[in-house]
Structure 1
Amino acid sequence: MENTQESPLSWRKSSRSQGGANCVEVATTTDQIAIRDSKNPDGPTLTFQAQTWRDFVAGIQAGEFDL
C-alpha cells in the first residue's frame, strides 16, 4: 500500500451513494486499485495491488472482519 497525491485516473462512486459527497471513490488500473475520499479529491489516495484488494473484499464477504 502506498500513498500517492495525484494521477490521471478515472474516479467513480458507488451508485448507492446517490450523488452524495461523503463517499469513497475508486479508480482502477490494470494491476492497482486506488481509493480516495470524495470530499477531498485533491488529497491523498491509497493504492493497493489488485490481488490484495480482491483478497480484502473476499475477507469482507466471508465475514472475517465482523465483530
Structure 2
Amino acid sequence: MSTAELAGARWITSSYSGGNGNCVEVAVGVERIGVRDTKDRAGGALIVSVLQWRSFIAAVKSAHYEL
C-alpha cells in the first residue's frame, strides 16, 4: 500500500507531542490509516486498515502493550 491512498488526507500529531520533531503523524482516510515519522515525512508511511487501527488503539488503551 502507498501513501497515495491517503492523498488529500490531513496529517495530524498528538497534542501531547512537544513540537520537538520527535513525533508520529496520523492521517485518517476512508478505508486506511497512515502513520509516519515527522522527522522524515517523505520516507513513507505505515498504512493499515481502519479495523487494524481500531484493534491497535483498543490494545493500547487496555494496557496490553507497555508504552
TM over 0.5: same fold? yes
TM-score class normalised by the smaller sequence: 0.7 to 0.9
> Which 4+ stretches in 1 moved above 4 angstroms?
none
* Secondary structure in 1 matching 2:65: coil
1:11 is matched with 11
CA RMSD of aligned residues (A): 1.9
Structure 1 unaligned regions, length at least 5: none
Structure 2 unaligned regions, length at least 5: none
Identity value in percent: 34
Structure number with greater CO (CA < 8 Å, separation at least 6) is: 1
What's the TM-score, normalizing by structure 2?
Answer: 0.80
1:21-60 Cα distance to aligned partner (Å, 9 max, x none): 1100000111111000000010010000001110111011
What's the TM-score, normalizing by structure 1?
Answer: 0.80
